[in-house]
């Protein structure tokens, strides 16, 4: 019962934040995180391409990812599951690359830049490993790596939880932003690993590395 409640809570949050990027196309975009950006950056054409690629395809990844963890639905809709998986994969590639690029221009300098760039790189790598595993029909490994991948995708949700809370707590947006650039995804990754350990109690701390080595050797 508790697990089902948390799943539905995750789904609602994923859908809400997944459609959030639409606001940038229907109202004045000078709201949210863009309020902290300098005018020259908002007018930079390549940065804008990176930004909109990141938020649009990140939203698609959120919207197509959560339902994939519903086992009964997945088993009953394998063809749709594969199609949504392909959409998720392409969306992650595009969103992560856009996120890595705009991460170099993160407000606050080195700390948030490193945090968001690390998030983008790990999201890209975990998703690619999951893809390689499913291509080799290693379904259990694929499932585990998709848990890691979506936990990083879900950083879009946890960022919007932590940032206003920490901004209120510290009374300083910049301090909150620097902390959130790491807090929005590191705990998610830890939770993902705990979930995988519960699914497979015999899995050790180095299981992700071993799975990746298995791809190279296989």
The DSSP string of 65-90 is HGGGG-HHHHHH-HHHHHHHHHHHHH
> How far does Cα 80 stand from its chain's mean position?
21
Q: How far apart are CA 142 and CA 38, in angstroms?
A: 41
In the predicted model, is pLDDT for residue 24 greater than 60? yes
* pLDDT for residue 41: 84
* pLDDT for residue 71: 79
CB neighbour class for 72 (10 Å; exposed up to 12, middle 13-18, buried from 19): exposed
Q: Residues 108-148: pLDDT tens digits?
A: 999 999 999 999 999 999 999 999 999 998 988 899 999 99
In the predicted model, is pLDDT for residue 102 greater than 70? yes
In the predicted model, is pLDDT for residue 38 greater than 90? no
Domain positions in the chain:
2-217
The pTM (predicted TM-score) of the whole model is 0.86
For residues 156 and 78, the model is more confident at: 156
Please, what is the average pLDDT of the chain?
86
In the predicted model, is pLDDT for residue 106 greater than 90? yes
In the predicted model, is pLDDT for residue 211 greater than 90? no
């Amino acid at each position: 019962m508790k697990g089902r409640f948390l799943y539905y809570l995750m789904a609602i949050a994923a859908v809400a934040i997944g459609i959030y990027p639409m606001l940038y196309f229907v109202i004045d975009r000078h709201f949210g995180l863009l309020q902290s950006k300098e005018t020259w950056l908002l007018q930079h054409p390549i940065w804008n391409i990176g930004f909109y690629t990141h938020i649009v395809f990140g939203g698609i990844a959120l919207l197509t990812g959560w339902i994939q963890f519903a086992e009964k639905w997945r088993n009953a809709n394998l063809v749709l599951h594969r199609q949504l998986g392909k959409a998720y994969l392409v969306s992650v590639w595009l969103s992560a690359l856009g996120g890595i690029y705009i991460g170099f221009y993160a407000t606050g300098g080195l700390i948030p830049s490193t945090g968001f760039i690390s998030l983008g790189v790990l999201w890209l790598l975990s998703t690619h490993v999951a893809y390689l595993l499913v291509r080799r029909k290693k379904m259990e490994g694929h499932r585990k790596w998709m848990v890691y991948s979506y936990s990083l995708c879900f950083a879009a949700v946890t960022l919007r939880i932590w940032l206003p809370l920490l901004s209120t707590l510290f009374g300083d947006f910049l301090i909150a932003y620097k902390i959130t650039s790491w807090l929005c995804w590191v705990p998610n990754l830890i939770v993902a690993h705990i979930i995988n350990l519960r699914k497979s109690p015999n899995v050790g701390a180095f299981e992700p590395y071993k799975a990746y080595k298995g791809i190279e050797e296989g």
